[in-house]
């Protein structure tokens, strides 16, 4: 391990600078978690031990890898084992602790784990290829996450964890996720892009697929899909015969993903994808929203599909829903009750928000969580996950009942 490096990244585009063999080097700094470059970085290679690397990573020192790529992967696995062991010790709670303490300890441990594991850094050439021995061809996976490599000749540095996330997403995008509610194979796959929530949890899709559509008295049914992400719910509604769907999102990756999926499914003419913060203009017979389920701050942009700080999207949807429903229309809120089991939100608070924004509950369909963590007794949040239920709340404008 040689050569100390100073990293800076205070102005866009963030950069990392170092001296190597007496030569000043510069590369662009990339972080999908949105974190700044480490303030201190050292060069590491095949001679670096896991214990030494873990100690430096815990101190916040980045390790820019100059050895064999496959050895870097093995080192990351060794760091992961040490980080998981440390996390298990730090998140211990007692039966007398408040309900939400286990969740907060879990998040703190996960955040620390992410910081430590994110300290193993890789050099990428200007074409997004890793310049290490036995490195795979990463150009296409990086291009899908970062965009096509530019012609400016600027290399970059990113964490090995980011690369593994990009390559995993690249494979998922090629393979796609089978959505039975979209009909028989092979025309029932959704291909999530990097950074866009993957519809692996099928229970919320099934709720939208199986709930009776609101009556329209013979008129074509118009639906809004708020926060469309991959476009899966808009696609399900279109396949169910909804005449026109307007799907919204404000994330460029999600918009591109939804448009591509809907085109591949042959639904582009039936579903319009627009960039909007929540609602498009106008009113609809049906307004569907599946907001992030946990009211907590996302520690990285990629977590915003799970965490909704101060319940911004949930409350924004409820606040605007009545004004965007046609007479007799329904709003479908798809929401897990995991936040209730974690002590982050009560059922009474949710119902009060419905009432505050002039909404009435027309009905509710519920299903048990089906994801693997719900059955993992070793998961620190197992009790809450095992009790989790996902509901589709059918909401109406309270003024309709008074008309």
Percent with pLDDT over 70 in the chain: 90
Domains of the chain: 4-172 (no CATH), 177-402 (3.40.50.150)
- Does the pLDDT at position 253 exceed 70? yes
Does position 389 have pLDDT exceeding 70, yes or no?
Answer: yes
How far apart (Å, rounded) are the C-alpha atoms in residues 292 and 313?
8
Tens-digit pLDDT profile for residues 195-235: 998 888 888 999 999 999 999 878 899 999 999 999 999 99
Mean pLDDT is highest, among 66-80, 109-123, 183-197, for: 66-80
Whether 314 and 206 have beta carbons less than 8 Å apart is answered as no
Does the pLDDT value for residue 18 go beyond 70?
yes
The answer to whether the beta carbons of residues 7 and 159 sit under 8 Å apart is no
| More reliable by pLDDT, 299 or 273 | 273
Average pLDDT (21-47) is: 89
Q: What confidence tier does 93 reach under pLDDT thresholds 50, 70, 90? A: low
DSSP string covering 143-209: HHHH-S--SS---EEEEHHHHHHHHHHHHHHHH-EE-GGG-STTS-EE-PPTTS--TT-HHHHHHHH
Q: pLDDT per residue over 228-238, tens digit each?
A: 999 999 999 99
| Whole-prediction pTM | 0.88
**CA-to-CA distance for 71 and 69, rounded, in angstroms?**
5
Instruction: Dump pLDDT digits (tens) for 279-319.
Output: 999 999 999 999 998 988 887 777 888 889 899 999 999 99
Q: How far is 268 from 260, CA to CA, in rounded Å? A: 9
Structure token pair of residue 272: 């319009």
pLDDT higher than threshold 50 for residue 96? yes
Radius of gyration of the chain (CA): 24
State residue 94's pLDDT score: 56
Tell me which of 119 and 400 has the higher pLDDT: 119
Percentages helix, strand, coil for the chain, rounded to the nearest 5? 40, 25, 40
Each residue of 23-32: pLDDT tens digit?
A: 888 889 999 8
CA–CA dist 319, 325 (Å, integer) = 12
Give the rounded percent of residues in the chain with a pLDDT score beyond 90. Answer: 65
How many of the other CB atoms lie within 10 Å of CB of 365? 17
């Amino acid at each position: 391990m040689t050569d100390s490096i100073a990293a800076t990244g205070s102005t866009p585009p963030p950069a990392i600078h170092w001296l190597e063999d007496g030569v000043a080097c510069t590369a662009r700094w990339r972080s999908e978690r949105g974190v700044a470059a480490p303030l201190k970085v050292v060069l590491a290679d095949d001679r670096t031990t896991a214990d030494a690397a873990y100690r430096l990573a815990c101190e916040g020192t980045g390790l820019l890898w100059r050895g064999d790529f496959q050895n870097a992967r093995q080192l990351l696995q060794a760091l992961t084992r040490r980080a998981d062991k440390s996390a298990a010790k730090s998140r211990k709670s007692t039966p007398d602790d408040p309900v939400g303490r286990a969740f907060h300890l879990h998040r703190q441990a996960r955040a620390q784990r992410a910081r430590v594991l994110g300290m193993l850094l890789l050099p990428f050439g200007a074409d997004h290829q890793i310049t290490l021995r036995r490195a795979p061809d990463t150009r296409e996976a990086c291009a899908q996450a970062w965009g096509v490599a530019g012609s400016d000749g600027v290399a970059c540095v990113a964490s090995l964890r980011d690369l593994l996330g990009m390559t995993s997403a690249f494979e998922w995008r090629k393979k796609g996720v089978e959505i039975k509610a979209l009909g028989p194979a092979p025309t029932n796959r959704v291909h999530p892009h990097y950074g866009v929530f993957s519809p692996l949890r099928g229970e919320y899709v099934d709720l939208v697929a199986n709930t009776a559509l609101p009556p329209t008295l013979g008129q074509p049914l118009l639906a809004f899909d708020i926060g469309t992400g991959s476009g899966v719910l808009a696609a399900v509604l279109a396949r169910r015969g909804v005449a026109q769907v307007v799907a919204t999102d404000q994330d460029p990756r999600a918009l591109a993903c939804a448009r591509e999926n809907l085109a591949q499914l042959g639904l582009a003419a039936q579903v319009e994808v627009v960039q909007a913060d929540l609602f498009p203009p106008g009113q609809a017979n049906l307004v569907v929203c599946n907001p992030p389920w946990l009211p907590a701050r996302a520690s990285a942009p990629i977590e915003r599909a799970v965490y909704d700080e101060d319940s911004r999207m949930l409350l924004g949807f409820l606040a605007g829903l009545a004004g965007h429903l046609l007479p007799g229309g329904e709003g479908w809120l798809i929401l897990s009750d995991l936040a209730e089991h974690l002590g982050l939100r009560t059922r009474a608070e949710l119902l009060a928000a419905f009432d505050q924004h002039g909404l009435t509950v027309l009905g509710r369909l519920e299903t048990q969580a089906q994801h693997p963590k719900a059955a993992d007794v070793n998961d620190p949040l197992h009790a809450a996950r095992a009790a989790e239920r996902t509901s589709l709340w059918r909401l109406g404008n309270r003024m309709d009942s008074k008309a």
